[in-house]
């Protein structure tokens, strides 16, 4: 079953704009992670936020977590063409190591 | 950090043939290991995960099986491939937090 669901499914913006992607999940979690995937490649970890954290920053990335709404958002500021990729959230749902991914958001940043 | 070796990168197999995809991990011990499948333009479907040698949890009943004969080796198998087994297969490893992925195997069943 799917734990994480991202929206929008696809997002197209101009370089320099901010990109916001959202993720909703269903069960209680230990942490929530965001990953990036370039076309046809493996996923790369971007940032992890623990269930007792509300916001976290890493460079141009900002992640928020609202456990009461079971949702998270990933903000990429001042986007670049190189940010073009698919972005996935993943939850460690406190089920003995199970890591579940959402359907992803396909981001296109136009130069 | 961990390095995940996954091969081959691409594979074309006829319907009814067997499958064996191998994944090995460097740089850690006793990781959680995962096999995911990704259809074109879609999310990752968890197929199997393992928290230790010989311990396999299956998420989706299907034509595939997995085995973990050694701590850092995870194998995905099928006795007879179906057309619906086509997809992009990803192996991943984690130690409680972030997961590291291999580069994937694109399997086409013809």
Contacts of B4 in chain A (CB under 8 A): 42
Chain A: residue whose CA lies nearest to B90: A42
Q: Give the max Cα distance, chain B.
A: 38
Q: What number of other Cβ atoms are within 10 A of residue A2's Cβ?
A: 14
pLDDT of amino acid A1? 39
Handedness of CA A95, A97, A102, A103 (dihedral sign): negative
pLDDT of amino acid A2? 44
Instruction: Tell me if A86 sits within 8 A of A10, measured CB to CB.
Output: no
Tell me the mean pLDDT in the region A21-35.
92
Q: With cut-offs at 50, 70 and 90, classify the pLDDT of residue A94.
A: low
Return d(Cα A99, Cα B46) in angstroms, integer: 8
**Residues of B within an 8 Å Cβ radius of A:** 4, 6, 32, 34, 36, 41-44, 46, 49, 51, 57, 59, 88, 90, 92, 94, 96-104, 106
Chain A: residue whose CA lies nearest to B94: A97
Instruction: Tell me if A3 sits within 8 A of A27, measured CB to CB.
Output: yes
């Amino acid at each position: 079953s799917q734990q994480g669901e991202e929206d929008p499914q696809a997002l197209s913006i101009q370089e320099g704009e901010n990109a916001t992607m959202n993720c909703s999940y269903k069960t209680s979690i230990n942490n929530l992670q965001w990953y990036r995937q370039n076309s046809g490649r493996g996923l790369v970890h971007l940032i992890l936020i623990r269930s007792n954290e509300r916001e976290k920053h890493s460079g141009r990335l900002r992640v928020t977590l609202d456990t009461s709404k079971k949702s998270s958002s990933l903000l990429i500021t001042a986007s670049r063409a190189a940010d073009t990729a698919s972005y996935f959230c993943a939850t460690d749902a406190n089920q003995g190591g199970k890591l579940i991914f959402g359907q992803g958001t396909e981001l296109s940043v136009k130069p | 950090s961990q390095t995940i070796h996954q091969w081959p990168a691409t594979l074309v197999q006829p319907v009814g043939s067997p499958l064996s995809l191998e994944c090995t991990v460097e740089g850690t011990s006793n990781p959680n290991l995962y096999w995911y499948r990704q259809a074109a333009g879609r999310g990752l479907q968890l197929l199997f995960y393992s928290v230790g040698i010989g311990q396999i949890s299956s998420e989706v009943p299907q034509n595939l099986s997995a085995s973990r004969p050694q701590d850092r080796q995870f194998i995905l198998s099928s006795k007879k491939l179906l057309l619906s087994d086509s997809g992009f297969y990803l192996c991943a490893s984690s130690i409680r937090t972030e997961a590291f992925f291999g580069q994937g195997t694109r399997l086409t069943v013809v």
